[in-house]
Structure 1
């Protein structure tokens, strides 16, 4: 596969543009010439980075100017000190001086005299097909996610709060190298998807349904997973609910092959739930893209995406039944030419701590 910058240069050449203006963090991390750009731009984004065929020009603002200067020797870093013009004013002056007639930008940018600015997130297009570097970082994010999830569930026992449980899982991920980690638990007879943002002080009881959604960023890449359990034996309806979610997950994840239509995969989940009379309790998307952020494709009720080899996305069917409880299973899926690969490997029924 051609390098990231080579593929970008080909797109720019076809459009007659001389450079790509990246203002979003995912695009900046994707194209920067550094083994791990997330160590340079560790939070947020640089105000602007201009990528052309043969150079990278960074307008860092005062807050990351030193890091860019010291850690990106192959880039031109525009100095910015207290009292200097703003990064966008510096960009305007640079473009005027360089005489660039046309650039492509991933965000709506102010008009620049003498330069045509075309708003087109070509970075998102190129980021969709994962390369070896993407996969290496995503596998590491998945490994750390597995550790966090298994640690959290091994802590679960009646009498603890969900906050105590996720504190252990989150700490495990941070100790293992995650730059950021969060876990959202939902326990009891919650009725809505958004119950995953509930009061974390709720006490876990025997017979509760419990699910934990987590996210961790590793080298700038998202690790994402959800697991659901019954605390203890539960009742027959709870066991049926959990088994139905597992069935929907297996069918949907196995259908994630090159050429598959997202809308049909989503409908398969709806049909699975409808057979139990629960379709109306599936209230969210089935998939979102994975990678550096805002990646394609996604799958929902109105999805027009067709899966391609190289895609990476979540698979997360859930059910949230009033008076009974909520359950969701989510894994990171890589769509290879040979079929779907689960990057996250924590058991679908995690081991509890009692």
Structure 2
């Protein structure tokens, strides 16, 4: 499935290469050497080798896909893959003019990458790498071949490239969110009193998988506990249940949290969830083109501060897409360790946010809503917006 252009044609870059050229120029990068599975997938137009979808290790080394792109010269692009990917290329040719499916591990892949850079005459160029996704042995090969001073960090360049989602990407994120919502609603209604956390998470895994999602995780709480780990704890009458789950649909992340209760919710529970939703709605109000991400954060936090539950409630928002935290980065070290470098930048159509408000209530337990919001030309759209109230179990 091609995420950027709708079709995958040999020799035609499936992403906005003019935008990438501009970003590389701004960063002083001559050639990109992408090695993360998510960025390689993006640059290949949606392709991901299924054999290594859920693992990396092989023998003494690891799978290391490499996409090489020279600024302004897509005809010099190359894809370096595993030996088993020759069949994939035969069936659906990769767009890159050069394809090397001859590596088994990270050193093989880096050696082939260095050879391609020599072939196109870019040994002295500034090479953009992904330090967090380049094993030390592969880094050593590139540094020996090219000179360590030539290797620069291209993480931000690739993040900016992916910031604005195409209609095809938005549709994948929408479907991921809707399918997770469907799965959660099925689990809430299908579980009976006495079901354990372990049984509930397994039921959610089956529901997501049967809908075509790759199940990634479920953080679950029951009753007054704030512990979100799987355990033998059971869901009993009058207790709340939170399901915070991530599922992957053709590489794109769905990540939502919905609440259930075994039996009808009492008035206190209705009031508590309403407090959380008020904060969420305050954030949604600022989810529109031109609004500053920091203003959205400030408005939601102001509503939260005035709430009667502020002492044990927290608000958080972050960008999402191929990975669960990406551009726009709106908050600093809250709770994930990165800088909120986009707080003072306007939101743009095509950006996608995860907006979440979490309450650690001292007696009723863990209560949370997490929503996926896409910025549109005239406002925003919620993906998977059903089930935001109390879902009755049993």
- TM bracket (short chain): 0.7 to 0.9
Superposition deviation, residue 282 in structure 1: 2.8
TM-score, normalised via structure 2 length: 0.78
RMSD: 3.0
Superposition deviation, residue 353 in structure 1: 4.1
The yes-or-no answer on 1:199 pairing with 2:230 is yes
Deviations for 1:122-150, whole angstroms, at most 9, x for unmatched residues?
Answer: 12101011112211221221222122121
Q: Secondary structure at the match of 2:316?
A: coil
Aligned CA distance change for structure 1 residues 276 and 179 (closer, same or farther; 3 Å): closer
Match of 1:174 in 2: 209
Match of 1:51 in 2: 69
Q: Secondary structure at the match of 2:260?
A: strand
Task: Please give the alpha-carbon distance, in whole angstroms, between the structure 2 residues aligned to 1:229 and 1:246.
Answer: 15
Q: 1:220 aligns with which of 219, 242, 251?
A: 251
Q: 1:7 aligns with which of 8, 14, 19?
A: 19
Aligned CA distance change for structure 1 residues 104 and 344 (closer, same or farther; 3 Å): farther
Deviations for 1:64-95, whole angstroms, at most 9, x for unmatched residues?
Answer: 56545654343322242569962112222322
Say whether the 8 Å CA contact 2:129–2:151 is kept in structure 1.
no
Matches within 5 A, 1:95-134: 95-100=117-122, 101-108=124-131, 109=139, 110-111=142-143, 112-113=145-146, 116-121=150-155, 122-134=157-169
Say whether the 8 Å CA contact 2:177–2:254 is kept in structure 1.
yes
Unaligned stretches of 5+ residues in structure 1 = none
The yes-or-no answer on 1:279 pairing with 2:310 is yes
Deviations for 1:284-342, whole angstroms, at most 9, x for unmatched residues?
Answer: x5122111114211333674523222210111111112233111111110011211100
The yes-or-no answer on 1:157 pairing with 2:189 is no
Superposition deviation, residue 175 in structure 1: 1.4
Match of 1:256 in 2: 287
Unaligned stretches of 5+ residues in structure 2 = 6-14, 57-62, 132-138, 335-339
Aligned CA distance change for structure 1 residues 79 and 165 (closer, same or farther; 3 Å): closer
Deviations for 1:6-56, whole angstroms, at most 9, x for unmatched residues?
Answer: 3223434566654321112221111114xx413556345734211232243
Superposition deviation, residue 63 in structure 1: 6.3
Task: Please give the alpha-carbon distance, in whole angstroms, between the structure 1 residues aligned to 2:259 and 2:28.
Answer: 51
Task: Please give the alpha-carbon distance, in whole angstroms, between the structure 2 residues aligned to 1:213 and 1:83.
Answer: 35
Higher strand share: 2
Match of 2:32 in 1: 20
Deviates more, 1:329-338 or 1:67-76: 67-76
The yes-or-no answer on 1:144 pairing with 2:166 is no
Q: 1:37 aligns with which of 47, 50, 71?
A: 47
Q: What number of residue pairs does the alignment pair up?
A: 347
Matches within 5 A, 1:182-331: 182-191=217-226, 195-196=227-228, 198-283=229-314, 286-293=316-323, 294-300=325-331, 303=340, 304-305=342-343, 306=345, 307-331=347-371
Match of 1:60 in 2: 81
Q: Secondary structure at the match of 1:72?
A: coil
Task: Please give the alpha-carbon distance, in whole angstroms, between the structure 1 residues aligned to 2:306 and 2:192.
Answer: 33
